[in-house]
Amino acid sequence: MKGVCVVGLSLLFLALVDLGSAEADIMQLVIDHAPYLRFDLKQGEGNLCFPHNAQEFYEARKGGDWSRKCNRDYDSVTRGSIPTYWHANTCGYHLHIAYWNFYGYNDDCDCCSGERDAWWEFIVVKIRDWTLNPRMHEVMFGQKKGWYTRIPGHYETFNTTHPVAYVGKSNHGTYHDDGGTGTCCYYEDFRNPGSADKHMVTWDNLIHLREEEGEDWMTDPNTDWWHGLQSPIFRDDWDVCGLMGCTGSSLQVCGTCGCHKSDIGEDPF
Ligand SMILES: *[C@@H]1O[C@H](CO)[C@@H](O)[C@H](O)[C@H]1NC(C)=O
């Protein structure tokens, strides 16, 4: 009887140790594969905002401050004072890590449409076979109300392990490439880093997006603070194991056409 109990306890202990090291392994993968964001050379001018601190925005709104919040301070981005929010799920042999950036304000994407307060954008990274032979594979780029997925070789990397995402200058979608023609059509938000080379090393400030023990804003279901949006926790894509490779048309049209640039079509991510 006593023997069984001791065996039971040591198994429990081993399981706990294992859990702890799995968490540490996940955290290391989250850091190693966090995206390297590249901004348009005009980012930070006028109403072209850099990522924003979501908790700060939330507190301002709750405190009755409804003024426009646009982060024009490039220093805040390079000093690591603006967080990128992440959460990860193990999906069979693979690990899916979602990285979220918050923006206080999106400017018009043409002369006169597309602006709004509060906006979220995401990038999802798939780490295949994460316990035995981890390697970054598919990367999903989110933009406007859609997304698409690229396979290795079809997106750039920074320092080998970090996917590069180009951020649209007005609406802040993330893309695997630079360019754009400066209209509101799906792939056309400008993103030309030029010699300014403004960028954000997201792994300098990663905050775990979670349902318990996270920051206050994360679990507040009230969409008023976000001007009608939900915090990522309440969105349909919170379960990152169930994502599909793209959304929208596979023809390049002006509206949502994420599938046009998806390497895996609409297959499961
Ligand atoms: C990129 O890699 C180089 C060489 O290992 C290192 O010195 C540098 O700090 C890395 N850059 C960042 C932003 O981590």
Confidence of residue 14 (pLDDT cuts 50, 70, 90): low
For a mutational test of ligand 1's pocket, the pick from 31, 84, 159, 199, i.e. the residue with the most ligand atoms closer than 8 A to its C-beta, is 159
Both structure tokens of 39? 């901004």
| Burial environment of residue 157 by CB neighbours within 10 A (0 to 12, 13 to 18, 19 or more) | middle
CA 196 to ligand 1 center in whole angstroms? 19
Q: How many Å apart are CA 251 and CA 61, to the nearest integer?
A: 40
pLDDT average, residue stretch 222-241: 96
% of the chain exceeding 90 in pLDDT: 89
Tell how far the Cα of 240 is from the centroid of ligand 1, in angstroms: 29
Element (H, E) at 116: strand 116-128
pLDDT at 81: 95
Q: What is the pLDDT of residues 120-170, one digit of tens each?
A: 999 999 999 999 999 999 999 999 889 999 999 999 999 999 999 999 999
SS3 128: strand
Over range 180-202, report the average pLDDT: 97
Ligand 1 in reach of 27 Cβ (< 6 A) = no
Question: Are the beta carbons of 138 and 249 closer than 8 angstroms?
Answer: no
Cα three-residue angle 263-232-32, rounded to 5 degrees: 60
Ligand 1 centroid–CA 264 distance in Å is 31
Quick check: 18 pLDDT over 90?
no
CB-ligand 1 contact for 160 (6 Å cutoff): no
pLDDT value of residue 255: 96
Q: What is residue 13's predicted lDDT score, i.e. its pLDDT?
A: 61
Torsion sign, CA atoms 216, 70, 229, 137: negative
Distance 93 CA to ligand 1 centre (A): 29
pLDDT surpasses 70 at 171 = yes
Q: Which residues pair with 167 in a beta bridge?
A: 174
Q: Which segment of 9-13, 220-224, 231-235 scores lowest on mean pLDDT?
A: 9-13
* C-alpha separations of 152 from 127, 200, 250, 259 in Å: 11, 21, 20, 17
Nearest Cα to Cα of residue 233 among 245, 220, 242: 220
pLDDT at position 8 over 70: no
Mean pLDDT of 10-33: 79
pLDDT for residue 73: 98
Residue 1 has pLDDT above 60, yes or no: no
Rounded to an integer, the average pLDDT of 86-97 is: 97
Mean pLDDT of 209-228: 96
Give the per-residue pLDDT at 11.
61
Query: How high is the pLDDT of residue 7?
Result: 59
Q: Which residues, listed in sequence order, are joined to residue 102 by a DSSP beta bridge?
A: 52, 120
Contact between 232 and 238 (Cβ < 8 Å): yes
Distance (Å, whole) CA 172 – CA 184: 12
The mean per-residue pLDDT over the stretch 212-238 comes to 96
Query: pLDDT at residue 9 above 70?
Result: no
